[in-house]
Copies of this chain bind each other. A is one copy, B any other.
């Protein structure tokens, strides 16, 4: 894990791509300056553990670029991804001594880190910041509950279609060749099949079969196993909600 030499001298915040969308959006210029004093930039390689459930909480962070997964593992080795984070999401469990999950970089990731105690002191001081983080937590809870419905009640086909739509929504839309914005959309899957399976409560093989099915029915196209092209958005949305026509 490569930390920048020391707390930022030249303030990254001025040029930060998530300055306004993330929790920092709640802060005034002076407040940002104070937050900047305790901030460290960090880069993580794919597969690196960012925070572990076996160690005390050391820091929190904003995700600036990249994708992070939150993982739970049982003693017998079963894994479940219980959250997927994209910029400008906030990562970490405030007001606890231990993380309830471990977080791992799914792609190469750039993080903006705040030390545990210092950050919680700032939450105390800047009530607007705590409020913003509260709202973010409420949104996360809503999403977690939506996902509970998916896990408990959707079929494998619906699950895979839903995940593709989620990732399409949350990653940059590139390669829109046609003028109509939703006619053909493409993106790179940040997750390997194993992670997709763990996020959906399925196995690798089932995910693969459903992807093949989506290809055959013309909803998507796949290049190099990772690049997804949504060729029929309506069909994909229909499959995500079992609107069989």
Contact = CB atoms under 8 A, between A and B. Distances in A.
Interface of A: 70, 72, 74-76, 78-80, 82-83, 93-96, 100-101, 127, 130-131, 133-135, 137-138, 140-142, 144-149, 151-153, 198, 200-201, 241-243
Contacts of A145: 70, 72, 82-83, 100-101, 144
Contacts of A82: 145, 148-149
Contact of A147 (B74, B137, B148): B148
Contacts of A78: 153
Given A127-B127, A130-B131, A141 B137 contact: yes
Given A141-B144, A144-B145, A153 B95 contact: no
B153 A93 contact: no
Given A74-B149, A137-B137, A142 B100 contact: yes
11 contacts: A74-B242, A75-B243, A80-B148, A127-B127, A130-B130, A130-B134, A134-B137, A137-B141, A141-B141, A148-B148, A148-B151
B201 A153 contact: yes
Contact of A138 (B93, B142, B149, B243): B93
